[in-house]
Structure 1
């Protein structure tokens, strides 16, 4: 199975693409069967994504958390797992029309960073690797969904403001439900973002003898955390609601993407092994 890792992830990519098309088709043509098939392909993609991670583990001899490609597999896996739970709980296929395209695009991006499996670098041979990356998978997966649902909120709000409501609107959750889902995802993510920074600092002290060096990855991780901390403060203390809060959620996830992908590609530093 180890030799099939790349093929498994490619099948997951195709499955997420098909699921995206079916979810969008469900929203356009209002056919429940399309939503049902979309769920099938979402679950298929998740299962094959799991096989890809298992194959990578067998190939590399370690849990696949060592570089951008490997973490990308886990990131999308966590995103889809959380989405499956949300869809099951809310019984609404329309959510997938926004979430699955995000998963599909991320899978395509991470596929471009594919590389052969290799042994862990000395700095990565630590139990902190597992703890650090699991917190990132949970946090980033939840924030990816908050981003997709914030876009859905903004789209629905704009349609309502123009007064051009049609049958599609009957399939979309109420704005208050979408807002609550975005808030719940961010509420879940922020504690794990906090743990991500703390475990990273402890691990850095273990590996490099210093808790914090203002490395680009460390700096942008802190910026990301501050953006979501401001979001929570604005929501709780300043009464941020509606468009303002959703725009902040969108900007927050763009920062997440830059922290994880942009910094690795554009701002080399102590974490440059993420591309190795």
Structure 2
């Protein structure tokens, strides 16, 4: 594995500058949460989000395109932040704003330090789009997990006759949570179908569909989310049972690509 000094030395200057600026823009409102006005903090986060998106585009479609577990986490964080930013315009009291900023800063720098492997020469020119499409389902399920956590916390406060401080009515939180699950399930289904039917086109003949750890965990995640949606539609699953299944499916999905790539890139030091 490359050392940090060698990574800094070999990184394109533009990517280094953009990554550092994005991390600073995320970190500043997180560190100065008690000293910045809401308007100023939102401006900082907006700039950070734009810089973050520019870094992602550069890393996926630039001259030295690379992808791996850390860029996947970075893109997931960017998508969650995008959804959260839209929702906060309608519900300004949504919590954990500063926590998400801190996670954004960490995700940007993690993706810079561990940029992943170069795209295989045999891959299709559509591979970056396919990867972005697949990671989009990570973003939707990540957003669903955040909302499920809001929902669980709101339910706990309500049981104790306390102000839930969620910024959203409980039923609205629940409805949004499982809409994100449904959207993520559609994207996951399409991603699996593309991988199964066109894996040799996207990745090259040596990287067609096969039953490795990534595939097994992806299918387990698909089955878990399918069970959740059927359970809610057919049996009225709610509360802890539904949230528990959501967390389980999300854990499988995290292990599918991010987990398998982490082991390959960091633990075993292998390429694609």
Please give the TM-score of this superposition, normalised by the length of structure 1.
0.77
The offset of 1:43, in angstroms, is 0.9
Identify the match of residue 241 of structure 1 among 213, 238, 243: 238
- Structure-2 change in CA distance of 1:20 and 1:160 (3 Å): farther
Aligned residues: 256
In the alignment, which residue of structure 2 is the partner of 1:28? Answer: none
- Structure-2 change in CA distance of 1:267 and 1:230 (3 Å): farther
In the alignment, which residue of structure 2 is the partner of 1:192? Answer: 187
CA contact (8 A) 1:135 1:195 kept: no
In the alignment, which residue of structure 2 is the partner of 1:36? Answer: 39
Q: CA RMSD in A?
A: 3.2
1:94-153: CA deviation from partner (whole Å, max 9, x where unpaired): 3636655554554454344136x85x3224x20441342132232111111111111111
Runs of 5+ in structure 2 lacking a partner? 1-11
- Structure-2 change in CA distance of 1:253 and 1:110 (3 Å): farther
1:12 aligns to 2:14 (yes or no): no
CA contact (8 A) 2:94 2:168 kept: no
1:249-273: CA deviation from partner (whole Å, max 9, x where unpaired): 22322222222222123368xxx64
Bigger shift: 106-115 or 141-150? Answer: 106-115
Bigger shift: 174-183 or 83-92? Answer: 83-92
CA contact (8 A) 2:147 2:177 kept: yes
1:141-192: CA deviation from partner (whole Å, max 9, x where unpaired): 11111111111111121222233x14xx355322111111111211211111
CA contact (8 A) 2:56 2:75 kept: yes
Q: In the aligned structure 2, how far is the partner of 1:95 from the partner of 1:180?
A: 20
Judging by fraction of residues, say which structure has more helix.
1
- Structure-2 change in CA distance of 1:188 and 1:97 (3 Å): farther
Identify the match of residue 137 of structure 2 among 132, 136, 139: 139
- Structure-2 change in CA distance of 1:237 and 1:98 (3 Å): farther
